[in-house]
Amino acid sequence: MSAYCSASDASAQTAAASAAPPLRVLVNPGDNSEQSRVVLYSAWKVVLEQALRKHATAGLDVILSSDATADLGSTRSKLHDIFIAPAHVVGSAVRYGYQPVVGLDKPVQAVLVAPLNSSIGNLAQAEGKRLGLPLQDSVVTYLVRGEVNAANTTIKSHFASVYDTRYQDALLPCLQVRRCDVVAVEKGVFERWVAAGEPVKAIMESKPVPGLSLAVRDGAKTGAAILQGALADSQPFANLLRSENAKAVVYTPADFKYVATLGYFTPRALPGANVVDAADVAQLLQRGGIYVDTRTEAEFKVGHVPGAVLVPYLEKSAKEADFDGSQDKFDLARLVPNRDAELIFACNGPECWKSFKASKAALNAGYRKVHWFRGGFPEWRSSGMKFAGANH
pTM: 0.74
* pLDDT classification of 19: cutoffs 50, 70, 90: low
Contact 77, 83 (CB under 8 A): no
Is 156's pLDDT higher than 90? no
* pLDDT classification of 152: cutoffs 50, 70, 90: low
**Do 114 and 197 share a domain, yes or no?**
yes
**Do 94 and 227 share a domain, yes or no?**
yes
Q: Does residue 390 lie within any of the structural domains?
A: no
Q: Does residue 156 lie within any of the structural domains?
A: yes
Rounded to an integer, the average pLDDT of 321-348 is 95
Is 8's pLDDT higher than 70? no
Q: Please identify, among 226, 260, 294, the residue that sits at the C-terminal boundary of a domain.
A: 260
Q: Does residue 266 lie within any of the structural domains?
A: no
pLDDT digits (tens, 9 = 90+) for 157-180: 899 999 999 889 999 999 999 999
What is the model's pLDDT at position 3? 42
**Do 294 and 377 share a domain, yes or no?**
yes
Q: Please identify, among 171, 188, 205, the residue that sits at the C-terminal boundary of a domain.
A: 205
Cβ-based neighbour number of residue 188 at 10 Å: 16
Q: Does residue 143 lie within any of the structural domains?
A: yes
Secondary structure of residue 160 in the 3-state scheme: coil
Is 257's pLDDT higher than 90? no
Strand blocks (E) in 11-72: 23-27, 60-64
Q: Does residue 5 lie within any of the structural domains?
A: no
Mean pLDDT of the chain: 90
Secondary structure of residue 368 in the 3-state scheme: coil
Task: Tell me the residue type at 112.
Answer: L
**Do 35 and 125 share a domain, yes or no?**
no
Q: Does residue 157 lie within any of the structural domains?
A: yes
Q: Are strands 82-85 and 213-217 parallel, antiparallel or unpaired?
A: antiparallel
- What is the percent of the chain where pLDDT is above 90? 74
- Cβ neighbors of 320 (< 8 A, separation 6 or more) are 156, 264
Q: For residue 45, give the CATH number of its domain.
A: 3.40.190.10
Q: Does residue 370 lie within any of the structural domains?
A: yes
**Do 227 and 314 share a domain, yes or no?**
no
**Do 287 and 356 share a domain, yes or no?**
yes
Q: Which residue range is the domain that position 160 belongs to?
A: 110-205
56/1: higher pLDDT: 56
Secondary structure of residue 93 in the 3-state scheme: helix
Q: Does residue 11 lie within any of the structural domains?
A: no
**Do 214 and 101 share a domain, yes or no?**
yes
pLDDT digits (tens, 9 = 90+) for 84-110: 999 999 999 999 999 999 999 999 999
Number of domains in the chain: 3
* pLDDT classification of 390: cutoffs 50, 70, 90: low
**Do 327 and 289 share a domain, yes or no?**
yes
d(CA 320, CA 352): 11
